[in-house]
Amino acid sequence: MRKQLIYIALFFISANTFSQQNEDTTKKEESPVVTLKGQIVNFADKKPLVGAHLFNLNTVIGTISDDSGMFEMPTTANDTIYISYLGFQSIKLKITHDLLKGNELVIELHEKVEKMEEVVVKSHKLIGVLEIDTKNVPKDKYARIHINGLPQTYEVGRPRKKAYSSPLDALFRPIDFMYNLFGSKPKQLKKLKKLRNDDKLREMLEAKFNRELMMEYLDMDAQELNDLLNECNYSDYFIKTASDLQLIEAVLLCYENYKAIKKGSTVKPEDKKQ
């Protein structure tokens, strides 16, 4: 009996020690938030790049370099920072403990060979009065129509639909991939929604046209992203000319509509109970 009591006591002591060791290990693994400071410059002439965009892909926090190319951003070890500037090659910087020791970074960006052209897509407002709206409907097939009271815009004409060669090919449609991705990785969906809803991030994304953030969060390449938006009834012209913010809004709207179709209802469960 005495031996049994000793064994039980030793067991609880061992368990308590193991628990404390686990807690200590967890505390060590949790990296503190540190303000990363640095400067974005042109690799060729070392001049500062004003207005370079920096996104923390893990926490979905963004900032812009100031008139001296300087920036500050809260980060932790193992975060990935996406850095871009119009006309320059974008880079992804993996944050290590060494980078967070307090030294200011100097990040050099290389110029791209090709240049981006600015494209403006006009949106025409309709008021819902047939006699007036028929006069205001644009003749340009690439214009988009905005109807008062509805958040999204619509394109004139019918977008091209992709033809699938077999039922097996249709199983791997980008729209199904997106639906399953957001189901298995809901954090990716939350990150896209934060990009869309945060005022500062919205302002940054309105000036971006490289799709790299979307491809990162959707785990798609450029062609797969095009195919997805085509399936969501967006034309090639819109996909080519829309800002990153417009494409994020389009993808999220497409997901919500497709989810409603999959579930067979657009009514939320809490609404049904009322």
The model's pLDDT over 103-135, given as tens digits with 9 standing for 90+, comes to 789 999 999 876 544 445 455 455 555 555 555
Is the pLDDT confidence value at 44 over 90? Answer: yes
The pLDDT value recorded for residue 17 is 52
- Which range has highest mean pLDDT (114-128, 143-157, 167-181, 239-253)? 239-253
Residue 251 token pair: 């993808």
Helix (DSSP H) and strand (DSSP E) numbers for the chain: 11, 10
**Residue 107 β-bridge partners:** 40
Q: In what order do the strands lie in the sheet with 153-155?
A: 123-126, 144-147, 153-155
Is the pLDDT confidence value at 150 over 70? Answer: no
The pLDDT value recorded for residue 273 is 47
**Residue 92 β-bridge partners:** 82
The pLDDT value recorded for residue 63 is 95
How far is Cα 130 from Cα 55, in angstroms, rounded to an integer?
A: 45
Is the pLDDT confidence value at 251 over 50? Answer: yes
The pLDDT value recorded for residue 135 is 56
Is the pLDDT confidence value at 24 over 50? Answer: no
How far is Cα 15 from Cα 30, in angstroms, rounded to an integer?
A: 23
Summarize the confidence of residues 214-224 as an average pLDDT: 90
pLDDT: is 134 or 207 the higher one? Answer: 207
How far is Cα 176 from Cα 181, in angstroms, rounded to an integer?
A: 8
- Mean pLDDT, the chain, rounded, equals 77
| Exposed / middle / buried, residue 208 (Cβ in 10 Å: 0-12, 13-18, 19+) | buried
Using the CB atoms, write b or e for 148-172: b if 16+ within 10 Å.
Answer: eeeeebebeeebeeeeeeeeeeeee
